[in-house]
Amino acid sequence: MSMIFIGGSRAIYELPEPAITRIGAIVAAEHGVLIGDASGADAEVQGLLAGYGYEHVGVFHAGKEPRNNLGDWAAYHVPSPDDATGDFVHAAKDREMARRADFGMMVWDGASPGTAVNALRLVIANKPCVIYDLARGSVATTYNVEDWCAMLRHAGSDIRRQAEARMTPDERLALPG
């Protein structure tokens, strides 16, 4: 059973049909799903998986309890560093999902730096990530850092700067000069 890290932008409240179809294929193949507990894409994917009655799901959360666990699945608490604030509170759980996954699937609004960094974490670990870019209406798979950089060029330099601000020093080192 492969483990798939599925994530996406908090601003997404409707999954694109190709992503729904792919999630259906993940369920049919009985792959494991690693997902966060955020509103937006995470909750939308959780709702879809719960509708299938799918059991092979783990929900990762930074708080004491998951914000969303729509299928009452196993929950994995990944505490953040004591000094973490804002979006950095959730970075440790995102890194853990990327570490445990074999593949990734992100539903991206074309602007969320957190979703972009999650795709980078996967490719740094040589794990392909399918990205549904809703801003461009495209689907692409990132296999390496060069693919990730090409994806970010379409988003613009401001999104890249925001993504780099969320990276660890080691993640920044993986980027080309």
| DSSP characters over 40-99 | THHHHHHHHHHHHT---EEEEESSSS-S--TT--EEEE-PPPTT--GGGGGHHHHHHHHH
Which is higher by pLDDT, 88 or 117?
A: 117
Q: At residue 88, does pLDDT exceed 70?
A: no
Place of tokens 């483990």: 3
The two three-digit tokens of residue 176, written as one number = 């080309």
Least confident of 30-39, 64-73, 164-173: 164-173
Reported as type and span, the H/E element at residue 142 is strand 138-142
Place of tokens 């993504």: 163
Given a contact cutoff of 8 angstroms between Cβ atoms, the answer to whether 160 and 134 are in contact is no
- Residue 89 — very low, low, confident or very high, per pLDDT cuts 50/70/90? low
| Mean pLDDT of the region 25-31 | 98
Cβ atoms < 10 Å from Cβ of 154: 13
- Residue 165 — very low, low, confident or very high, per pLDDT cuts 50/70/90? very high
